[in-house]
Structure 1
């Protein structure tokens, strides 16, 4: 009998985090902006202009922010790898002992830990230290362009739903339609994100919808106050 194949999700964390953050931000920020404008009794044309501007500005801002942030992470990773490579060239025996100690601390017998460290060092010393000392691997490596593109695209995809609600809803129900569509979109994105990451759906849905509702409610109050 063979064990059931296990599906892991850690390799998705780079793009999934950026995509979920972008989509949720697109839905919540755009919906909140539109609800605030509608609560201030703005004209349909003004609401539409604000929504389109918010979509474009938000997508570009998410892309720029993710690129800068993940690029900084990538710089740190490269610096650590360069430092580790220099240490291995200058102090190979100390680096081997350090790697062996890592394996011993994880439960291997001392002789076995040293043998594993030797074999992995012979195969690829830098890869072994990157993975087991620094915690770096291909699955969690920083990818700035991927994160920037995923965030921008996800933001735009999320923002389009409240924007369409504002366009097609009757004027007297604009704010209500935006809120309902936004909450429905958050429910869907929360469910999809949980499925893609192997997490609990109800918890993810409750988290995104509750915070989204709070954001839209507070912005609606602000819109009423300013509009008055």
Structure 2
């Protein structure tokens, strides 16, 4: 399975698929699975921006150029098991909407770990479709330990490498806090949304890892230049 190839990369960002509005989210208007958009972006040699890159964008002035792309699926892929359960040889997740089964093979060094989350970053992984199974082929897999086990939504401090929440819950007033929602076990992209307080121009990170693949979220990619698109095309380059 080919992973490394020549890709279009750069310090800027470009929205390939706009994020849904609140009403569109309620209506669930868009059920395109993440893996389909990932494969389309891969054909275009585009790299979906990582979770850490997008957090950095929304911590600075870049957020204005890509705000119409959120909420979005990031290019960061994650896999975790139920609280207290070893990661084992592989982690599987069945998407309740599409019926696709996602398979993430666990490196031997991590198979006995508990309460941890595995992370693969773009472009160091590929997705293979075998019938209704989506197999993750990762050239490099990192582990984040002390992954929060609470199923209720809470705020946590994100670790510095991938921007994944870890450790104990902290106050939402902490400027470095991230809003986390997790499920029992999961394989899929880290999904990211931001709560904006327009009165103070502050940007609260809302990091969700329990969204299903078919939520139809936005897609934001790396770009070598500042992307300026026509309004009628904005956010639909993968459609």
Higher share in helix: 1
Larger RCO: Structure 1 or Structure 2 (Cα < 8 Å, ≥ 6 residues apart)?
1
Question: What TM-score range do you get, normalising by the shorter chain?
Answer: under 0.3
Higher strand share: 2
